[in-house]
Structure 1
Amino acid sequence: MLALFEGKRIFVPVILLLAAFITSQISAAGGYVAALPDMMIPTAHMGFIFFFFAFTASSLARLAPGTGPRFLMRNRRYIGLSFALIHGTHGVLVLSNLALTDASRPAPVLFAGGLAYLFLLAMTLTSNNAGVRAFGAKHWKRLHKQGSYYIWAIFMITSTPKLIMEPSPKGWIPILGLVALGLRIAAYRQGKRKQATQE
């Protein structure tokens, strides 16, 4: 089953799902501007699912080797690019909301979010073999590591206060965010222990 979505084929269901969601929301609301409030949060949630698996792929492969984690590792680049596509769409919706309605955001929020998108753009443009060669493996890895942790932090900062103020089943992003961090820490410690036993 997973073989149906190997490599670039991951994009097909992502694009179809995203297009179907946006089309249905615009149709139900009677227009693009009217649909914006109902499209922004779901696209952020949808993007986070792909971010979670891209962020934890190597950790899951180290901690629980198996078919699923191997699939994630083989396709981590395309899972990350799917996140970029969805979250880029989310960014367009947010900017549309700011430009076409009376909505506003504090300057610090705009700066922090803008920096996250700069990281996302840089990571997207370098998510290929040419990008690795151009940056060098060490610098490429640093960019993607720093960028992914910054994006993780933005998700946590923006979603945790909402969960605290209004606890609900919708508050799953900070919970999964902590799970993701826990997996990364556990995999790092396991790697260190393995390295120590080999010395």
Structure 2
Amino acid sequence: MRGIQGWRIVGLSALAIGAMVAAIWLVHGIDEQGMRMTIRATARTSCILFLCAFVASALRRAWLNPISTWLLKNRRYLGLSFAVSHTYHAIAWAGLWFVTSGAHPKFDPLGILGYVFLIAMTVTSFERPAALLSQRAWKILHTAGMHYFWLGFTMEFSLRISQSMFIYLPLVILLVFAMLLRVIAPRMQRKLAS
């Protein structure tokens, strides 16, 4: 894991997810079924990358070990990898609209708000744009965005448990655990300090 750091994480994520998308389209075709499968698959890769960034700080506070140290050190790149994965997700949604002649997907204002958050968080992950915001505004943007995505993933995947329990139930459990960790970790740190 030591060799996979920084921008290499983003590059490998882009290549791996791109290969996954290409494989789905090769096997299932670039049609409605292929696009829907790509949407579901990229939602799951986005969730995993999101969770890595979401828990990095809390996990480091709760357990000091090489994994938590690596996650915290590479949190920015994991977040950018999440943005890459969700860009593939957007491409699949656009592809679905194209192959269904505009019949799908329906207008989704909450999804659009998610992409507004994603773009704003991605842009402000770089020094110069981040410098245009106060530290407080940057923290509010990123905290609100992360919680918005957490809620979106949790709600969407909870609704899909009945369709595929073995895929979506573990993801929902991880999402709930991640939020609990973010709530509990600062308290654990304060107890250890005192």
Distance 2:104 2:120 in 1: 28
Partner of 1:169: 166
Query: Is the 8 Å Cα contact of residues 22 and 39 (structure 1) preserved in structure 2?
Result: yes
Q: In the TM superposition, what is the alpha-carbon distance from 1:117 to its structure 2 partner? A: 1.0
Partner of 2:78: 79
Q: Which is worse superposed, 71-80 or 8-17?
A: 8-17
Q: In the TM superposition, what is the alpha-carbon distance from 1:89 to its structure 2 partner? A: 1.1
**Corresponding letter in the other structure for 2:188:** Q
**TM-score w.r.t. structure 1 length?**
0.88
**Unaligned segments of structure 1, at least 5 residues:** none
- Which of 147, 150, 158 is the aligned partner of 1:160? 158
Distance 1:43 1:12 in 2: 16
Distance 1:111 1:192 in 2: 40
Distance 2:7 2:39 in 1: 26
Q: In the TM superposition, what is the alpha-carbon distance from 1:139 to its structure 2 partner? A: 1.2
- Which of 105, 109, 112 is the aligned partner of 1:111? 109
Distance 1:190 1:41 in 2: 36
Q: Deviations over 1:128-177 (max 9, x none)?
A: 222332112111111100110011111111111222x3461111221111
Partner of 2:40: 41
Distance 1:141 1:194 in 2: 25
Aligned-residue CA RMSD (Å): 1.8
Please identify which structure carries the higher helix content: 1
Distance 1:157 1:126 in 2: 26
Distance 2:85 2:39 in 1: 11
- Identity score, percent: 28
Q: In the TM superposition, what is the alpha-carbon distance from 1:90 to its structure 2 partner? A: 0.3
Q: In the TM superposition, what is the alpha-carbon distance from 1:4 to its structure 2 partner? A: 1.5
**Unaligned segments of structure 2, at least 5 residues:** none
**TM-score w.r.t. structure 2 length?**
0.90
Partner of 1:124: 122
Query: Is the 8 Å Cα contact of residues 26 and 34 (structure 1) preserved in structure 2?
Result: no
Distance 2:18 2:154 in 1: 27
Distance 1:104 1:16 in 2: 26
**Corresponding letter in the other structure for 2:87:** G
Q: In the TM superposition, what is the alpha-carbon distance from 1:32 to its structure 2 partner? A: 5.3
- Which of 130, 133, 141 is the aligned partner of 2:131? 133
Partner of 1:91: 90
Distance 1:26 1:161 in 2: 26
Seen in structure 2, the aligned counterparts of structure 1 residues 66 and 168 have a Cα distance that, compared at 3 Å, is: same
**Corresponding letter in the other structure for 1:10:** I
Query: Is the 8 Å Cα contact of residues 131 and 140 (structure 1) preserved in structure 2?
Result: no
